[in-house]
């Protein structure tokens, strides 16, 4: 079972040992031009999660390819590059410039104003630009995420990353004004888990491509639930902020959890949520069989 | 950077603040001005705290209970245990000739450790009230001013200033003493460069305070 980090939740150059404990490292989203990101305050804790409004801060495509990617390659672990943009051709140009990585298309950042073209259009443009594995990272805020999932699969996506953060707002307890300078931000952490589970569950029924499940994973039990809902890999996000040792811990806990339920491997538990009580597979799409 | 579950050894109220002492286990106390991320019981994110004192085998943190995380930390009792990550960031350079420690409010937190390492140099501390100023007892050789007097009105010239305090104080210190070393504060989710939450403007660019700082050169 593959364990990754959520994009934007780890810097492998600053914390290589944390990244090494994962099966692959996912970069922060790269856009064609450099971005400073949003003005501070950019993060806020809430009762059951956190909000961020970083705003896709990144060095831009050129500097990433020339200066960052070579250093990441020196670390020796598999790389996923998160690609962002504000039009389909921007995504596609970055995809075309990449080699020997898996690409995750960030189709769902809640912290930029520009409305992206439809997810399927972007995936289609990127598919035409590269033969590298393409994962589409979707927002859980869509009315029907399974519908979007079907569309990106048809457009050539090799996999899905579910889910990105969902828009939220927190108010300062004293002034009752937004805590974040930008106002709203992307909500992540424990509160996101049921939302992620619902998206993975729905998309596993709707598509045949592999799913990286993420959203509120803190423990091995959380990871097992996403696998049961249909994920074939799991990513850690907010938990890395509070616990850089989470990769090893979650892996160990996952082994204990799946073996306590009689599964020889985490893979054997994949899609189990779709089975009936009688032990029969529900009539669902091939992805969970 | 290491993470360990550390036992709380003591919690003493000093004015409105709390001095939390933990056994430091296998963690290195680091240098004055560096910080640790402390698990705030019941909260999603840990809280960044600079080391206040580091006697043998211990780490002590001075905390102002101003929000849910710091209130949870200030409610810790001896025998409780919390996860602690660190030491993190860059602390103060201690190769200075005529040190003067300048602190404002809870910003004095890293200064007792600095004072100890520099052999009790002169310090100038400002507080909102006599009650808050009780914390000045943690720093020897200190002159204390109370609002409406500010430390920046009482700062002598000709020193190597090492300062920590509220932003307006640090901005004024920067103007008065361009060679000063200033310890800044920003909300942080991780403390180790992962979240990009603690961005501050450094040299015209937004950079991560946890990576570049929290102690930065004034100019």
* Domains of chain A by residue range: 2-274
Confidence tier at B201 by pLDDT (50, 70, 90)? confident
Residues B110 and B28 in one domain: no
CA-to-CA distance for B61 and B51, rounded, in angstroms? Answer: 5
- pLDDT of B156 strictly over 60: yes
**Do B205 and B149 share a structural domain?**
yes
For residue A36, the chain B residues in CB contact (below 8 A) are 205-206
pLDDT at B204: 83
Tokens 């909000």 belong to residue:
A51
Contact residues for B49 (Cβ-Cβ < 8 A; gap 6+): B35, B36, B37, B38, B61, B63, B73, B109
In the numeric block, the tokens 């831009």 are attached to: A60
Q: What is the largest CA-CA distance in chain B?
A: 47
**3-state class (DSSP) for residue A138:** strand
Q: Looking at the partner chain, which of B68, B194, B200 has a beta carbon nearest the beta carbon of A241?
A: B194
Residue B203 and residue B108 share a domain: yes
- Domains held by chain B: number: 2
Predicted confidence at residue A13, as pLDDT, reads 97
State the CATH number of the domain containing residue B114: 3.40.50
Identify which has the larger pLDDT, B201 or B86.
B86
End-to-end Cα distance, chain A: 16
Select from B54, B87, B120 the last residue of a domain. B87
What pLDDT sits at residue A143? 84
pLDDT for position A108? 80
pLDDT band at A283 (very low <50, low <70, confident <90, very high): very low
Q: Chain B closest CA to A96's CA: distance in Å?
A: 27
Predicted confidence (pLDDT) at residue B4 exceeds the cutoff of 90: yes
Domain boundary among B45, B64, B87: B87
Q: Indicate whether B213 and B185 sit together in one domain.
A: yes
B51-64 per-position pLDDT tens digit = 999 999 999 999 99
Do B212 and B107 belong together in one domain?
yes
ipTM, 2 dp = 0.94
Q: Are residues B25 and B83 in the same domain?
A: yes
Only one residue has tokens 């956190």, namely A50
**Which domain covers residue B190, as residue numbers?**
99-217
**A2-274 belongs to which homologous superfamily?**
Aldolase class I (3.20.20.70)
By CA distance, what is B48's nearest residue in A?
A242
Position A246 pLDDT exceeds 50: yes
Q: Which residues of B touch A82 (CB under 8 A)?
A: none
Contacts of B40 (CB under 8 A, 6+ apart): B46, B47, B68, B69, B70, B72, B73, B82
**Residue-level pLDDT at A142:** 85
Contact A54 B196 (CB under 8 A): yes
For residue A286, the model assigns a pLDDT of 46
- Determine, for residues A15 and B44 on separate chains, whether the beta-carbon distance falls below 8 Å: no
User: In which residue are the tokens 């509220």 written?
Assistant: B166
**pLDDT at residue B188 in the model:** 97
Q: Write the pLDDT tens digit of every residue in A60-80.
A: 999 999 999 999 999 999 999
Return the closest-CA partner of residue A192 out of A3, A1, A2, A9: A9
Mean pLDDT of A138-162: 94
Q: Which of A17, A37, A185, A244 to mutate: most B Cβ within 10 Å?
A: A244
Long-range contacts of residues B28-32, Cβ cutoff 8 Å, at least 24 apart: B28/B2, B28/B87, B29/B54, B29/B59, B29/B87, B30/B54, B30/B86, B30/B87, B30/B88, B30/B91, B31/B87, B31/B91, B31/B92, B31/B94, B31/B117, B32/B91, B32/B92, B32/B94, B32/B110, B32/B113, B32/B114, B32/B116, B32/B117
| Higher per-residue pLDDT: A130 or A108 | A130
Confidence tier at B76 by pLDDT (50, 70, 90): very high
Residue A114: pLDDT band by 50, 70, 90 thresholds?
Answer: low
Q: How confident is the model at residue B194 (pLDDT cuts 50, 70, 90)?
A: very high
Nearest CA in chain B to A13: B193
8 Å CB contact of A241 and B187: no
Percentage above 70 pLDDT, chain A: 92
B198 plus B147 within the same structural domain: yes
């Amino acid at each position: 079972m593959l364990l990754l980090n959520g994009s934007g939740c780890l810097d492998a150059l600053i914390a290589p040992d944390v990244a090494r404990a994962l099966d692959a490292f996912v970069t922060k989203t790269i856009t064609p031009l450099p971005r400073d990101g949003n003005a501070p305050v950019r993060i806020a804790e809430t009762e059951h999660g956190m909000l961020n409004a970083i705003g896709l801060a990144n060095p831009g495509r050129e500097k990433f390819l020339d200066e960052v990617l070579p250093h990441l390659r020196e670390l020796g672990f598999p790389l996923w590059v998160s690609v962002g943009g504000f039009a389909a051709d921007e995504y596609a140009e970055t995809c075309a410039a990449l080699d020997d990585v898996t690409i995750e298309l960030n189709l769902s950042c809640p912290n930029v104003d520009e409305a992206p073209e439809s997810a399927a259009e972007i995936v289609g443009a990127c598919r035409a630009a590269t033969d590298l594995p393409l994962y589409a990272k979707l927002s859980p805020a869509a009315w029907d995420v399974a519908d979007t999932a079907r569309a990106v699969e048809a457009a050539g996506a090799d996999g899905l990353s579910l889910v990105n953060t969902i828009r939220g707002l927190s108010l300062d307890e004293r002034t009752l004004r937004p805590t974040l300078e930008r106002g709203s931000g992307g909500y992540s952490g424990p509160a996101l888990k049921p939302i992620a589970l619902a998206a993975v569950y729905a998309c596993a029924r709707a598509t045949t491509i592999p799913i990286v499940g993420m959203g509120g994973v803190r423990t091995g039990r959380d990871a097992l639930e996403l696998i049961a809902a249909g994920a074939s890999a799991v990513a850690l996000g907010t938990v890395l902020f509070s616990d850089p040792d989470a990769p090893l811990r979650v892996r160990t806990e996952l082994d204990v959890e799946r073996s306590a339920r009689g599964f020889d491997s985490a893979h054997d538990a994949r899609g189990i949520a779709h089975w009936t009580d009688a032990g029969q597979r529900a009539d669902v799409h091939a992805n969970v069989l | 950077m290491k993470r360990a579950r550390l036992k709380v050894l003591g919690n003493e109220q000093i004015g409105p603040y709390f001095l939390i002492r933990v056994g430091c286990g296998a963690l290195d106390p680091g240098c004055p001005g560096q910080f640790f991320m402390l698990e705030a019981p019941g909260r999603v994110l840990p809280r960044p705290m600079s080391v206040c004192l580091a006697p043998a085998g211990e780490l002590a943190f001075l905390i102002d209970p101003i929000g849910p995380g710091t209130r949870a930390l200030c409610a810790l009792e001896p025998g409780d245990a919390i996860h602690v990550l660190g030491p993190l960031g860059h602390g103060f350079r201690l190769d200075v000739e005529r040190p003067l420690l300048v602190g404002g409010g809870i910003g004095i937190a890293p200064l007792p450790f600095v004072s100890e390492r520099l052999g009790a140099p002169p310090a100038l501390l400002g507080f909102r009230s006599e009650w808050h100023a009780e914390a000045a007892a943690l720093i020897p050789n200190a002159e204390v001013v109370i609002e409406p007097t500010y430390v920046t009105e009482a700062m002598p010239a000709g020193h190597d200033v090492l300062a920590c305090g509220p932003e307006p104080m640090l901005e004024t210190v920067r103007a008065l003493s361009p060679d000063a070393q200033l310890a800044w504060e920003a909300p942080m989710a991780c403390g180790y460069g992962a979240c990009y939450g603690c961005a501050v403007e450094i040299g015209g660019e937004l950079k991560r305070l946890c990576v570049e700082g929290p102690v930065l050169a004034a100019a």
